[in-house]
């Protein structure tokens, strides 16, 4: 077991936990920045593969974090990354839930919620863009990303079907 790496995994995800306003989807670019470019735990290609696997499995979006931890430091790394990503924010949520009723109608709270919505939209759009740049290098991959986005916005198609179709098209060498 590589303790220095585990410590670094814990440190990075403890920070990311408190930065993840807007949820796990909003911090994908920051995870990529820290894991690929700062720490060198994995390559961009690994990152996009891990992202694909996390989307193809059931469960919350935050699971990508456990795959980054796994790449960095094996199964223990996966658990350390996930606990580090959830612990600080959960402690904060627990404490705030204790006092929530007192300020839920306060003007500053309502303004904060209004203010966070566009920030979150910008962050998640950036996540989509960074993923696209990390994954797509050919015109047909860009086309697949664009068509998937359009279908997902315009229809109620289940995301899993879109991923399955993309897997088949990919296996056939079309993406």
Residues 41-100 that bind another protein (CB under 8 A): 48-63, 66-67, 70, 75, 78-79, 82, 85-86, 88-90, 92-94, 96-98, 100
HSE-CB at 162 with a 13 A cutoff on CA atoms is: 17
Site string for another protein, 112-131 (x = CB under 8 A): xxxxxxxxxxxxxxxxxxxx
Q: How far is the CB of 159 from another protein (least distance, A)?
A: 4
Q: How far is the CB of 69 from another protein (least distance, A)?
A: 10
* 165 near another protein, judged by CB under 8 A: yes
Phi-psi bin for 42: left (phi > 0), alpha (psi -120 to 50), beta?
beta
* 25 near another protein, judged by CB under 8 A: yes
Q: How many residues bind another protein (CB under 8 A)?
A: 106
HSE-CB at 119 with a 13 A cutoff on CA atoms is: 11
* 36 near another protein, judged by CB under 8 A: no
Closest CA to 2 of 92, 108, 78, 74: 74
User: What would the two tokens of residue 119 be?
Assistant: 């920030």
* 18 near another protein, judged by CB under 8 A: yes
Q: How far is the CB of 109 from another protein (least distance, A)?
A: 8
Closest CA to 36 of 22, 25, 51: 51
Q: Which of 2, 33, 43, 106 binds another protein (CB under 8 A)?
A: 33
Q: Three-class SS of residue 131? A: helix
Backbone φ and ψ for 137, nearest 5 degrees, come out as -125, -10
Q: Which of 7, 21, 43, 106 binds another protein (CB under 8 A)?
A: 21
Q: How far is the CB of 97 from another protein (least distance, A)?
A: 5
* 167 near another protein, judged by CB under 8 A: yes
* 106 near another protein, judged by CB under 8 A: no
Q: How far apart are CA 72 and CA 77, in angstroms?
A: 7
HSE-CB at 35 with a 13 A cutoff on CA atoms is: 32
């Amino acid at each position: 077991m590589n303790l220095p790496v585990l410590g670094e995994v814990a440190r990075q995800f403890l920070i990311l936990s408190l930065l993840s306003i807007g949820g796990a989807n909003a911090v994908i670019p920051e995870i990529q920045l820290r894991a690929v470019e700062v720490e060198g735990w994995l390559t961009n290609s690994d990152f996009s593969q891990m992202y694909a696997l996390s989307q193809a499995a059931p469960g919350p979006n935050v699971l990508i974090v456990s795959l980054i931890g796994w790449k960095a430091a094996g199964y223990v790394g996966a658990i350390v990354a996930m606990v580090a990503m959830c612990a600080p924010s959960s402690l904060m949520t627990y404490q705030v839930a204790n006092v929530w009723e007192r300020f839920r109608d306060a003007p500053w709270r309502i303004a904060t919620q209004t203010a966070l919505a566009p920030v979150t939209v910008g962050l998640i759009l950036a996540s989509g863009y960074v993923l696209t740049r990390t994954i797509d290098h050919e015109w047909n991959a860009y086309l697949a990303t664009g068509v998937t986005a359009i279908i997902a916005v315009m229809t109620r198609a289940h995301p899993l079907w879109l991923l399955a179709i993309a897997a088949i098209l990919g296996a056939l060498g079309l993406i």
